[in-house]
């Protein structure tokens, strides 16, 4: 894809620094810099930004794949649209990914939470249950164990990774270069960018709806991928429609 641009190089370095830091600090790094569910006591406002640079310690594949995709597509996009627009695209896609994934968590959280409220529990009592994992079974008159489990899972969820931002960059790439042939590893046949990105979108949509892993890994935030891709697609479609190349920000 050509020479790596300065902005992409900086993003790669920051991600690697955060990853090394998380290996050094362990759980403390995730408590501080991963994005926690907003009702969780670990939530801090800066996590809205910092979670995009954190990655899972369980496998190097998480950061390696994300950084490879950023390297492959990021420099090409920055050269095409300029540094400022690239940064806007990257971080707006990351925020869009975060918002959609949080909306999914709230969808799982709210039904049981509302049932607790209707049963006469205060917000402090509910948060105490979520922190301790113990609750009064009387609430099951109003909801189900499955719903309570979903609420507990949403409350203790945390988001890490640049996947949403990178999904936005890749979706924008497909809008800008829809017919550019791309090669997948182990598949020697070129696939046009628009079809490849559409295929990934469908896989994530399937994974988000069914809750099944489609990439051979667990704990994948499929809705974050979708959110980032949608923002990237809309942003690039708007810029392309309005002839952005004639009005570069830099």
What would the two tokens of residue 60 be?
A: 């190097």
CB 100 within 8 A of CB 30: no
CB 198 within 8 A of CB 175: no
pLDDT at 62: 85
- Backbone phi and psi for residue 144, each to the nearest 5 degrees, phi listed first: -115, 160
Q: Report pTM.
A: 0.88
Instruction: Decide if pLDDT at 221 tops 80.
Output: yes
pLDDT tens digits for range 88-144? 999 999 999 999 999 999 999 999 999 889 888 889 989 998 998 877 777 788 888
CB 213 within 8 A of CB 220: yes
Q: Which residues pair with 187 in a beta bridge?
A: 184
pLDDT tens digits for range 128-187? 989 988 777 777 888 888 999 999 999 999 999 999 999 999 999 999 999 888 876 666
CB 94 within 8 A of CB 164: yes
pLDDT at 243: 63
pLDDT at 249: 47
Using alpha carbons, list the distances in angstroms from residue 119 to 114, 138, 142, 159, 233: 9, 8, 7, 31, 44
What would the two tokens of residue 99 be?
A: 């918002």
- d(C-alpha 40, C-alpha 38), whole Å: 5
């Amino acid at each position: 894809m050509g020479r790596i641009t300065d902005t992409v190089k900086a993003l790669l370095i920051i991600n690697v620094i955060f990853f090394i830091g998380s290996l050094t600090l362990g759980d403390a790094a995730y408590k501080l810099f991963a994005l926690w569910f907003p009702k969780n006591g670990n939530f801090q406002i800066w996590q809205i930004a910092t979670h995009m640079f954190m990655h899972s310690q369980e496998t190097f594949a998480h950061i390696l794949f994300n950084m490879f995709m950023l390297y492959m597509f990021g420099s090409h996009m920055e050269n095409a649209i300029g540094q400022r627009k690239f940064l806007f695209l990257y971080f707006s896609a990351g925020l869009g990914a975060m918002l959609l994934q949080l909306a999914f968590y709230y969808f799982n959280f709210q039904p049981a939470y509302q049932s607790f409220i209707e049963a006469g529990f205060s917000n402090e009592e509910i948060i105490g249950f979520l922190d301790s994992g113990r609750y009064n079974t009387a609430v099951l008159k109003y909801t189900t164990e499955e719903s309570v489990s979903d609420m507990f899972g949403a409350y203790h969820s945390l988001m890490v990774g640049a996947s949403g931002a990178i999904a936005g960059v890749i979706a924008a790439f497909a809008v800008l270069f829809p017919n550019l042939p791309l090669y997948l590893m182990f598949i020697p046949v070129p696939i046009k960018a628009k079809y490849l990105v559409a295929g990934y979108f469908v896989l994530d949509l399937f994974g988000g709806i069914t809750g099944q892993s489609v990439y051979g890994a667990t704990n994948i935030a499929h809705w974050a991928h979708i959110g980032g891709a949608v923002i990237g697609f809309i942003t690039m479609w708007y810029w392309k429609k309005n002839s952005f190349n004639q009005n570069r920000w830099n």
